[in-house]
Amino acid sequence: MNTQVHTNNQRNPVSAPLENLLLTSMLILTPTSAFATDSYQNKVLFTPSESTLKAEAKGRIMIYDGLESEIVDKAMNQQFDRIDNMMFIRIHHTQDDGEYLVEDDGC
């Protein structure tokens, strides 16, 4: 029984620049998408749309992931009437040395 496959898999020199461009764009866009997610969470948290408020009135819960503890505290103060519809996970707590400690809440 022959379990080995032999292929003549050589890289195409024409596609190499395209592969490099794709890899570079992925590396650039990754931090941008993380910022976009945080921006989206801040928008929903502090300036909810009418549809968001209606959904919350029907019982929708929004899970906010990876926010700094200062933002969570601000939300608790400014959006107190919406607290029942909020869940915060993996909160980033500022340490004395300026680093962040991510709360391990099991989520």
Q: Is position 78 within any domain?
A: yes
- Per-residue confidence in pLDDT tens, the chain, 107 aa: 566 656 565 655 556 676 766 666 665 554 444 444 568 999 999 999 999 999 999 999 999 999 999 999 999 999 999 999 999 999 999 888 888 888 777 76
The residue segments making up the domain with residue 90 are: 35-102
- The helix/strand/coil state of 36 is helix
Does some domain include residue 2? no
Q: How far is Cα 87 from Cα 62, in angstroms, rounded to an integer?
A: 6
The answer to whether residue 80 sits within a structural domain is yes
Residue 17 resides in a domain: no
Q: How many domains does the chain have?
A: 1
User: pTM for this structure?
Assistant: 0.61
CA dist list (Å): 43 to 22, 23, 40, 97, 98: 30, 30, 5, 29, 26
Gap between the Cα atoms of 94 and 102, Å rounded: 9
